[in-house]
Amino acid sequence: MQIDKDLRSVQEVRDLVHRAREAQRVLERMSQEELDKITAAISRAAAAEAGRLAALAVEETGFGIRADKEVKNRFAATTLYEAIKDQRTHGILAQDREKKTIDIGVPVGVVAGLVPSTNPTSTVIYKSMICMKAGNPIVFSPHPSALKCITETVKVVERAAREAGAPEGAIACIPTPTMEATSALMKHDHTRLILATGGGAMVKAAYSSGTPAIGVGAGNGPAYIHKSADVSLAVKHILDSKTFDNGTICASEQSIVVTRAQEEAVTRELQRQGAYLLSDEEHKQLSKFILRPNGTMNPAIVGKSVETVAELAGLTQVPAGARVLVARETGVGPGYPYSNEKLGLILAFYVEPDEEAVLRRCVEILEWEGAGHTFSIHCEEEDVVKRFAQAVPASRVLVNTPSALGGIGATTCLFPALTLGCGAVGGSSSSNNIGPLDLINIKRVAWGVRELEDIRGGSAAGGGASQVDDALLRALVDQIVRRLT
């Protein structure tokens, strides 16, 4: 008798979560040193296999560039490890002897890890490491179009973790990916947290599941080239960023915004560095190819070369070797597909009359799609940077750096991460670059330091009203605020 695929996948989830729950009981009793040993083993194993796993990802999905995916794998395996290796996540984190308080880190429990097809292997490495560092088991829900490379990556990190002392079931992957399986994983009674990286519909489903979730919204970051910028370097940063892994990192630039005074210099530099500016006719032709009829991104443009996109869209005049397709755009929202997120080698180009109009346009783009994610600015005037940073609805404001690599912490000192929170404005529970400290709960132990009579401060004259010393009141307020934050 053949079992229905959906039913089989749901049963697989139940079995995996049961084993993960058993593994959790072991992990939560481990010391910080034991968890660190497991994390270090994953780092070494993933770094050693970075190239092979990158090749598998490109071969299976058709997205991106092998060499760049290898860089992302090594970034997750080594750069992330260097950032977290000395973090305390488990047991006593801090003790204030004067105020008589202790903070104790405890794992959140079983984590559901949703993995996209654009960054499949690096996401598995990254999420496995931050979960093990925090003492949490993780069950991965793989994107069906990247099942083989995700499964192989899980095998690599799971074997390394187990040989370093992790229990069976601490890292696992659903073998039969279906929507029903992912839903069952997210809604399971023993799933304590969802790390959702993927399409908008999947992230929305994670937040609707009833389980606490950390999700990533769409990245649709505009890049402003200010009059003070080194135009050549700014364009280099933008093109380096956009072409890295063929534009599959969600923090990569999606549009360039300049004032009219900068238009000629930026246009000239774009062309000099290999960008191809579309004609009006080519603009219309490609615009029909960017989105699907339902308004979502056409997967045919994702992570593909310029040559492939041009051929699929019927653009015959694009020269060989063109690095990026650039389209002049004048609007944002429905009817303006270039204003959407484009995880491929396509950039919108906005020219505005002045800087105030540039700021309004950048806010409009982010509010349309990408709120809370990333904004980049190329500028040598700190006051301008601060003004834009305060005004734009973005959790990451990147200055004079490739946005794709700056956003994940590769070319900046932001925490190295492949899950970038978008904050409340983007519908996310966190605005952080997500790390192990986002995957623990903190118990707070507090000794009593005053009696009720101390709080009342004694009876006051006239009507028996109580008075509280100002200094004591401030101390109480400070203590309450610290406990709530």
Would you please indicate which residues are annotated as catalytic (active-site) residues?
250
If you count them, how many residues does the chain have? 485
**Cβ pair 255, 290 in contact under 8 A:** no
**Cβ pair 7, 151 in contact under 8 A:** no
Nearest to 185 by CA among 12, 26, 22: 12
**Residue found by looking up tokens 């670059």 in the block:** 433
Q: How far apart are CA 176 and CA 129, in angstroms?
A: 23
Strand 91-96 and strand 138-142: the pairing is: unpaired
Residue 441: which H helix or E strand, with range? strand 440-446
Burial of 250 from C-beta contacts in 10 A (0-12 / 13-18 / 19+): buried
Radius of gyration over every alpha carbon of the chain, rounded to an integer in angstroms? 25
- How many contiguous H segments (helices) and E segments (strands) does the chain have? 18, 15
**Quick one: how far is CA 54 from the chain centroid?**
19
**Quick one: how far is CA 315 from the chain centroid?**
33
Cβ burial 164-189 (10 Å sphere, 16+ → b, else e): bebbebbbbbbebbbebbbbbbbbbe
Listed in sequence order, the residues at least 6 apart from 78 whose beta carbon sits closer than 8 Å to its beta carbon are: 43, 47
Q: How far apart are CA 403 and CA 235, in angstroms?
A: 12
**Cβ pair 395, 373 in contact under 8 A:** yes
Q: Tell me which DSSP letter residue 485 carries.
A: -
In degrees, rounded to 5, the angle at the alpha carbon of residue 219 between the alpha carbons of residues 66 and 408 is 55
Task: Say what angle helices 120-134 and 32-48 make with each other, to 10 degrees.
Answer: 160
